[in-house]
Amino acid sequence: MLSQTTDPDVSAPFLQCGSRRLDLSTPRIMGVLNVTPDSFSDGGALRASRGDAAGFSVSLDKALRRAESMVADGAAIIDVGGESTRPGAAPVSEQQELDRVVPVIEALARRLDVIVSVDTSNPAVIRESARVGAGLVNDVRALRREGALSAAAATAMGVCLMHMQGEPGTMQQAPDYDNLLADVQAFLQQRATACEASGIARARICLDPGFGFGKTLAHNYTLLRDMQQLLGTGLPLLAGLSRKSMIGAVVERQVADRLPGSLAAAVLAVMHGASIVRVHDVAATADALKVVQAVNNAS
């Protein structure tokens, strides 16, 4: 699944993440590790007994145990995020984000055989995360924040570029598109081109259509249904649908009770072109994807 070489095997699809190559010949799972107090699903779950200036700090032991469990369950990537991007989430300072994510990334990179991803838009966090062993930048702003693109290009990390209309605080205020799929694809292609122009090889780039980020319920389900159209970019796709409000709106269940809907969404995403799914429930998702693979491999 993972190798420690930068010499690409062009016979199989892959994503280069620093010194590690993620084989994408089968669907891969990114496990969510939020080191935040306010993420929509699991904010505060890894809280330490004493807080930082914002009243929150991370328990490194809890974070490691959670990551170890996800790796054992089948995660190929652990995505560490220190700032919630849910609608209306409060911003955090650069130092708070660094304090939350860097020690966790360093510990994971040292102890686990897994790609560690940092969910950030902050150039300083990108640089420090790379220094301590992160292999992937997962950025909801697609490296558009000032200095983010050059920071990522100066590392060997892979990048995941996500489509978002607007900013997290306002993105759900009447999002509108001329042509949803065409607009999303054009944005992602433009950002990929900008990355390549900055020296980031195509083998280091994957794309995320951004479910729930500046999209109505109808937009989200149209995007899921027609996601294979985005494969025209020639780059691998990541889909993050786990426990989101687009699922809650359909199944009419609270966040903690959205596992069945999340599994259905993950299966559909893979069947419609996703190479990576970002999820909270790794073990259950791994089982669901094994069934998808059994169907794909049936003779």
Give me the torsion for CA of 46, 169, 245, 236, rounded to 10°. Answer: -80
Answer yes or no: 86 catalytic.
no
Q: Which of 28, 66, 243, 278 is catalytic?
A: 278
C-beta separation of 152 from 142 below 8 A: no
Q: Which of 191, 204, 244, 258 is catalytic?
A: 244
User: In the block, which residue shows the tokens 């995403």?
Assistant: 269
Which residues, 6+ apart, have CB-to-CB distance to 156 below 8 Å?
Answer: 6, 16, 18, 19, 130, 204
Residue 142 token pair: 């697609």
Reference 278, options 192, 162, 105, 108; nearest CA is 162
Angstrom distance (rounded) from CA 110 to CA 119: 19
What is the helix, strand, coil percentage profile of the chain, to 5?
40, 15, 40
C-beta separation of 135 from 22 below 8 A: no
Answer yes or no: 244 catalytic.
yes
The residues carrying an active-site annotation are 244, 278
